[in-house]
Amino acid sequence: MKEAVSTNKAPGAIGPYSQAIKSGDVLYVSGQIPVNPETGEIAGTIEEQATQSLTNLKNILEANGMTTDNVVKTTVFITDLNDFAKVNEIYAKFFNAPFPARSCIEISKIPKGCKIEIECIAVK
């Protein structure tokens, strides 16, 4: 059984997908791009974009009664691997040890011209 989870504190889906899907005690959060859900704007720097993407992810977790401490796996997509250290600095502010397992992948493009997108899997 699966159930959609959503919040207006994160940008709405821009395609045929859900912000997140809950199945049992597991929450699968779709990739979050750095769109401010209140203004629809996208910040400029990688640090600002990482912060907004992680804030959107955190807000979706909270809509399901979870925190970033429930996250067991993340995938980070960035358009420039040279930004890896900057993203790590921001990422470390959102997660506590033991940190989730993580993949970080450089890709050519992200929707809306963003520099970063982050998805996660969390367990209650």
Enter the DSSP assignment of 65. T
The residue behind tokens 């925190």 is 67
Q: What is the DSSP letter of 48?
A: H
> Choosing from 101, 104, 115, 120, which is the catalytic residue?
104
Residue 120 a catalytic site member: no
Give 24's Cβ-side CA count (13 Å radius).
3
Gap between the Cα atoms of 45 and 25, Å rounded: 35
Alpha-carbon torsion angle 28, 74, 62, 54, nearest 10: -130
Positions marked active-site? 104
